[in-house]
Structure 1
Amino acid sequence: MRQVVRGWRVHRRTPATLEEIAQLCNPTIQGWWNYYGAFYRSEMRKLFHYIDQKLAQWARRKYKTLRRRKQRSVRWLGKMKELAPRLFVHWRIARREVG
């Protein structure tokens, strides 16, 4: 699954918006969750964390103020999760499990 995420090359899609990236990724993530989520939740959480790392990497490349500031890009992504919690499938799943 990580190879598929790597194949998306999210960090190289700097002209794209976060919504466009979500449209690209969501069908695959939803399919993985439907198939593996029932039995491999801990592994899916690791995959979700990996996807978030790739999204933070994308943000560092897209926005100059985040470049070379890893923690700031992670905080920025956290704010995006709060502002649009339904944007990515794995954000919705994580909120449902916590709340």
Structure 2
Amino acid sequence: MVAGWLNYYSRFRPWKLIPLAMRINAYLVRWIRQKYKRLAAKRKALAKMQEIARRYLRMFAHWRLTATVSAVSA
């Protein structure tokens, strides 16, 4: 669902989707911190998310819009 939405709106204003993609990343980091207690520290959660992003580039549709995961702020 997100992939289709991103494909549609990226045709018209792709620069407007970058803040949305970064916000989705922030929600993912928050979810990681709550789900895995050993990753409760923000630095550890960000490191894990970067590792996943490097390993699985196409796991989430919005990752093709963001150059790095390191710019996530939760």
TM-score bin, normalised by smaller chain: 0.7 to 0.9
Could you say which structure has the greater relative contact order, defined with CA pairs below 8 angstroms and 6 or more residues apart?
Answer: 2
Say how many residue pairs are matched.
68
Residue 49 of structure 2, aligned match among 77, 84, 98: 77
Which residue identity does 1:51 align to in structure 2? I
Stretches of structure 2 lacking an aligned partner (at least 5 in a row): 69-74
- When normalised by structure 1's length, the TM-score is 0.60
Q: Following superposition, which runs of at least 4 residues in structure 1 exceed 2 angstroms of deviation? A: none
Post-superposition offset of 1:81: 0.4
Q: Which residue of 1 aligns with 2:71?
A: none
The residue that corresponds to 1:94 in the other structure is: 65
Match of 2:14 in 1: 41
Query: Residues 43-73 of structure 1: CA distance to partner in whole angstroms, max 9, x if unpaired?
Result: 2111111111111011001111111x11221
Q: Counting helix residues as a fraction of each chain, which structure ranks higher?
A: 1
Q: CA RMSD in A?
A: 2.0
